[in-house]
Amino acid sequence: MQQNDLTQGRILPSLLRFAIPFLLANFVQALYGAVDTAVVGWFSNDAGISAVSIGSQVMQIIQAFMVGLTTGGTVLIAQYCGGQKRQDVSQTISTMLLTFTVFSLILTGVMFLSCDGILFLLQTPKEAMQMAREYVMVCSAGILFLVMYNAVSAVLRGTGDSRHPLIFIAIACVTNMVLDVLMVGGLGMGPAGAALATICSQALSMVVSLLFLKRQTHLIDLHWKRLRLSVEKLKLVFQIGFPISLQDTMVHISFLIIAAIINHMGLIASAAVGIANKFEGFAMLPAAAFSGAIATFAAQNMGAGKPERAQKGLHWSIISALLPAVLFFLWSQLLPETIFAIFNASPEVTEAGVSYLRSFSIDFLLVAFVFSMNGFCNGCGKTTFTMINGIAATILIRIPVSYIVMTLNGGLFEVGLAAPLASFLSIVVAFFYIRTGKWKNFKLSEKTQ
C-alpha cells in the first residue's frame, strides 16, 4: 500500500530519500514569497517591499493553521500505513478533503472581514497600508487553493510519497515567477499583482494535485459523490493536528507581534526585517524538511511497532539538519550584505537588516534540534507536548524579550536575539521529555482497531 516504506532498510538512506524531495518542495514554496518581495523590490519601492512583507506574514498564519491540521492527517495516515490499514487510510483521506474544503471557505470570509483590523494591529506603516491591504485581500481569495494543495500533499507524504508534492509545487512556482514579472513588472500592478500571480499559481497546483490523487485508486475512489465524512477520523485528525496547528499559529502570531514592534520603528526597519525574514525562510528549510520527514518516519515505525528505529531516525534527522544550518549561519555572519543585495535593498535598509540578521541567525543552528525533536514527538502522537513546549517558549521568551528591547529603546540586533533564546528553551525541555520515554506509550493505530 505504501509508496515508500520507511519501516525497512537502512535508516539514513530511508530518511534522506523522503527528506530531500520534501526539502526541495519547501524550497520551491518559499520562493513564492521571496519572488514576490524581490520583484516588488525591483519594480516598486520600500513601501512596496514593506507591504508584501507584512501581507505575506499575515497569510503565513493562515497557512500555518491549516498545514498544522493537515499534518494531523499525515501522521494518522502514516501510522495506518505502518499497520497496513487500507480502509482507514481511505476514510481519513475522504474526511480530510471534505473538512478542509469547508474550513478554507470559512477562513476566506474571516479574512475579508478582518483584513483592515489585522493590518492596523500590526502597526503597518501608513505609506504601505493600502498596498498591504490589496495584497492580503487578493491572497485571501485563494485560500481554498492553498489549503487543498497542502491537504493532498499531506495525504501523499503520509504514504511516504514526498516526490509528487515537489512536482506539483515546482509547476506552480514557475507559473508564479512568470506571472510576477508580467503583472508587477509589465503591467505595473505592484503588490496586488504579486498576490494575483500567487493565487493563480496556487490554483494550478491544486488542480494538478487533485487530478493526480484521483488516479491513486489504491488509496481512495476520488469522486465527490462517494466522499464520506467519518466522525471518528475527524476527531483523530484534530486530536493530532490541532495542537500542531495551534503551536505553529502562535509562533507566527508571535512573529507578527514582533513585526508590529519593528514596524513601530519605521519603514526602514520594517523593510529590513522583511527581507531578513525571507532569507530566514530559506535558511530554515532543511530543518523544516527533516522535521516533516522524521514525523512521517516515526509515525510509520510506531505504527509498525518499531519505537527504537523511530528514535534512531531522530538522531540522524538532527545531524542532517544541522549541516546546512551551519552554512547559512556562516553566510549571515560573514557576507550578510550580499543577502540584501539580492532584493535590491537601499543602503539604509541593508545596514539595519545586517544588524538584525547577525543575532537572529544563531537560531538557524538551534532550530535543527528544535524542528527534529518536534517532528519526532508529533510522529509519535505527542502533539500536545510540542504545542505546550512551543507556546511556552513564545510566551515566556520570544515576545517578552522583544517588548523589553522596545521599551529600553534597543536596536534590531537585540530584537533578533529573541528567537534563539526561545529555541534554546524548547531544546532543553524537549531533551528531558524524550529522555523520559513517554513518547513510547501511545500508538494512534491501536485506538482504531
SS3 annotation, 191-242: HHHHHHHHHHHHHHHHHHHHHHHHHCCCCCCCCHHHCCCCHHHHHHHHHHHH
For the segment 138-181, what is each residue's pLDDT rounded down to a tens digit? 888 889 998 888 888 888 888 878 788 888 888 888 888 888 78
Give the residue-averaged pLDDT of 233-258. Answer: 81
CB 153 within 8 A of CB 29: no
Q: What's this model's pTM, rounded to 2 decimal places? A: 0.73
pLDDT-based confidence at residue 390 (cuts at 50, 70, 90): confident
pLDDT mean across residues, the chain: 83
* CA–CA distance, 437 with 15 (Å, rounded to integer): 22
Enter the C-alpha cell of residue 190. Answer: 505592484
The pLDDT tens digits for 298-315 are 888 888 788 889 899 999
Q: At how many degrees (to 10) do helices 307-334 and 347-360 cross?
A: 140
Query: Side chain identity at 49, as an amino acid letter?
Result: I
Distances (CA, A) of 151 to 64, 66, 154, 165: 12, 9, 5, 10
Q: What is the pLDDT of residue 155?
A: 87
Single-letter amino acid code for the residue at 311: Q
**In sequence order, what are the residues at sequence separation of 6 or more whose Cβ sits closer than 8 angstroms to the Cβ of residue 263?**
50, 54, 122, 123, 124, 125, 269, 270
Separation of alpha carbons 446 and 89, rounded Å: 14
Residue with cell 518559499: 30
* pLDDT band, residue 447 (cuts 50/70/90): very low
Please determine, for residue 367, whether its predicted confidence score (pLDDT) is greater than 90: yes
Q: What is the pLDDT of residue 3?
A: 56
Confidence grade of residue 317 (pLDDT, cut at 50, 70, 90): very high
Q: Taking 90 as the threshold, does the pLDDT of residue 50 lie above it?
A: no
In angstroms, the CA 296 to CA 157 distance is: 7
The dihedral built from the CA positions of residue 259, 265, 270 and 276, taken in this order, carries a sign that is negative
Mean pLDDT score, 357-375: 93
Q: How confident is the model at residue 254 (pLDDT cuts 50, 70, 90)?
A: confident
Residue 285: predicted pLDDT: 86
Average pLDDT score over residue span 244-269: 78
Share of the chain above pLDDT 90, in %: 16
Asked if pLDDT for residue 449 goes beyond 50, the answer is no
DSSP code at position 4: S
Q: Which of 50-59, 73-82, 83-92, 356-365 has the highest mean pLDDT?
A: 356-365
Domain boundaries, the chain: 11-441
pLDDT at 1 over 60: no
**pLDDT confidence of residue 46:** 67
User: What's the burial of 207, exposed, middle or buried (CB within 10 Å: 0-12/13-18/19+)?
Assistant: middle
Note the pLDDT of residue 219.
62
pLDDT digits (tens, 9 = 90+) for 343-357: 777 888 888 889 899
DSSP reduced 3-state for 1: coil
Residues 6+ apart with CB under 8 A from 440: 307, 380
Task: Please give the Cα distance from 392 to 426 (Å, whole number).
Answer: 8
Reading the block at residue 248, the C-alpha cell is 505553529
pLDDT reading at 431 higher than 90: yes
| CB-based burial, 351-365: b 16+ in 10 Å, e otherwise | ebbbbbbbbbbbbbb
pLDDT of residue 330: 94
Asked if residue 446 has pLDDT above 60, the reply is: no
Other beta carbons within 10 Å of 108:
17
Burial class (CB in 10 A: 0-12, 13-18, 19+), 388: middle
**DSSP state, residue 408:** T
* Residues, the chain: 449
Task: State the DSSP string of 371-401.
Answer: HHHHHHHHHTT-HHHHHHHHHHHIIIIIHHH
Q: What pLDDT is recorded for position 316?
A: 94
Q: Which residues contact 6 (CB under 8 A, 6 or more apart)?
A: 14, 15, 18, 160, 296, 297, 300, 301
pLDDT digits (tens, 9 = 90+) for 35-49: 766 777 677 666 777
Q: Which of 377-391, 415-429, 430-444 has the lowest mean pLDDT?
A: 430-444
Which is it for the CA torsion 342, 347, 353, 359, positive or negative?
positive
Question: What confidence score (pLDDT) does residue 2 get?
Answer: 46
Sign, Cα dihedral of 62, 65, 69, 72: positive
**pLDDT on residue 228:** 80
